[in-house]
Homo-oligomer: A and B are copies of this chain.
């Protein structure tokens, strides 16, 4: 018995893919991914049409999807995140059916509950054996964790592993095991290593970013959560990483031993592990080479599935035990609702990813963002799109002050007691608008181009076309 088939085309045929079916992809190869495009090209060449694409995230490398949409090959998209290039086309209305935006925890939940059905999952595997045991830790296209691909492998009717590093059976250090895999295809390259992970992720040098980061670290210090057993997640943005750096300094100075770092792991979190700030890293996706090396070599750095990370359908997820998460925003309103889906012109340029999931789970959910970008204020009266509901956000940190959600009165008291520059969010809005002027109202288009699905499966918001 051997699952190796000669080509992606052969695997598509053997898997029985037909018009109207759903294919799925995971995004650990990020903007370096070749697999989605290779597969969609073969599907198109086979004359198969009306395909739904369910991808844990889509990057601008996946822009060929637009051609497949225009040709009727692709008629539906579900994803947790979409790059700005693709997003612009979607916002212009290229796809008749609204995109469904999930969260990183909501996506596996929707798959397990059967609201999203996957006919054929394609797993980009940096290393695999001939029976489909596979891992992201090894090979020239190594990406580290394959956490987002587990639900696809476990629940798709057919599973195709695509690899550029076929190793002798059995691959002992498998992430996804052979019992879920139907076919294995060897290709020359599954991705461009330069696009898969950043060589390094860098902290900000921007003075505004550094002020925000210093505030963020002080908020965490004053919150009462920074003590032995502390757990933490942060994004890969420059200011978030700077906040992690400041936090590390505080933890080392005070000799605080945290329990775990979660995420989306960067080299900065690896440094914190090595420095003794954490006992463990729980990793659903690696952002840089240092994280990939760490998950490969350090047993304290563990891969987790998206279900274990963040699914609201799980008996528990790690986000439920998380103390602090630092998150970004393109827009936040006076009710603390956060938008990470659309830009200031209403174009899609992102998605929730794990934003809503960690915000809902963490004891302290912090948004870190500058008061304005390109003269557009961060705080609005009402966000264009609700990506994460305000009731799961505790605090907004800007260079011009720290706004605490009134629902968390205790936090406000603590931060005031620590002498931090607290500001009412309405005041922050006014203060910013005195600098930037009042922004023009966005005129939304006629058509719904995307639906934002809350992590529990509820319709959270709609995104409208940009018609100009």
Report which A residues bind B (CB closer than 8 A).
1, 3, 131-132, 159, 168-170, 172-174, 177-182, 229, 259-260, 279-280, 282, 299-300, 302, 304-305, 307-308, 311, 314-318, 320-321
A259 touches B173 (CB 8 A): no
A179 touches B260 (CB 8 A): no
Checking B132, B178, B314, B318 against A170 with a beta-carbon cut-off of 8 angstroms, the contacting residue is B318
A170 touches B259 (CB 8 A): yes
Closest to A129 in B: B321
B316 touches A172 (CB 8 A): no
Q: A1-B321, A131-B321, A321-B1 are in contact. Are A316 and B170 (CB under 8 A)?
A: no
Q: How far is the CA of A307 from the CA of B299 in the complex (A)?
A: 25
Interface centre among A159, A307, A320, A321, by most chain B C-beta atoms within 10 angstroms, is A321
B299 touches A178 (CB 8 A): no
| Distance (whole angstroms) from the CB of A346 to the closest CB of chain B | 36
| Inter-chain contacts of A304 with B (CB < 8 A) | 177
| Distance (whole angstroms) from the CB of A361 to the closest CB of chain B | 9
A314 touches B178 (CB 8 A): yes
| Inter-chain contacts of A259 with B (CB < 8 A) | 168-170
B308 touches A177 (CB 8 A): yes
Q: How far is the CA of A178 from the CA of B321 in the complex (A)?
A: 11
Q: List 26 A-B contacts (CB under 8 A).
A: A1-B320, A131-B316, A132-B315, A159-B315, A168-B229, A169-B259, A169-B260, A170-B260, A170-B321, A172-B260, A172-B280, A172-B282, A172-B300, A173-B299, A174-B302, A177-B304, A177-B305, A178-B308, A178-B314, A178-B318, A179-B308, A179-B311, A179-B314, A179-B315, A179-B317, A180-B314
Interface centre among A3, A159, A177, A316, by most chain B C-beta atoms within 10 angstroms, is A316
Closest to A171 in B: B280
Closest to A309 in B: B179
Closest to A181 in B: B315
> How many chain copies?
2
Q: How far is the CA of A314 from the CA of B181 in the complex (A)?
A: 9
| Inter-chain contacts of A318 with B (CB < 8 A) | 170, 178
Known A-B contacts: A131-B316, A131-B320, A178-B317. Give 18 more (CB < 8 A).
A3-B316, A132-B316, A168-B259, A170-B259, A170-B260, A172-B282, A172-B302, A173-B299, A174-B302, A177-B308, A178-B308, A178-B315, A179-B305, A179-B308, A179-B311, A179-B314, A180-B315, A181-B316
Q: How far is the CA of A181 from the CA of B321 in the complex (A)?
A: 14
Q: How far is the CA of A182 from the CA of B299 in the complex (A)?
A: 26
| Inter-chain contacts of A179 with B (CB < 8 A) | 305, 307-308, 311, 314-317
6 closest pairs, A vs B, by CB?
A179-B314, A172-B280, A179-B308, A177-B308, A179-B307, A172-B302
B315 touches A182 (CB 8 A): yes
| Distance (whole angstroms) from the CB of A197 to the closest CB of chain B | 22
| Inter-chain contacts of A300 with B (CB < 8 A) | 172
| Inter-chain contacts of A169 with B (CB < 8 A) | 259-260, 321
| Inter-chain contacts of A131 with B (CB < 8 A) | 316, 320-321
| Distance (whole angstroms) from the CB of A42 to the closest CB of chain B | 21
Q: How far is the CA of A320 from the CA of B3 in the complex (A)?
A: 12
| Inter-chain contacts of A311 with B (CB < 8 A) | 179
| Distance (whole angstroms) from the CB of A135 to the closest CB of chain B | 12
Q: How far is the CA of A131 from the CA of B321 in the complex (A)?
A: 9
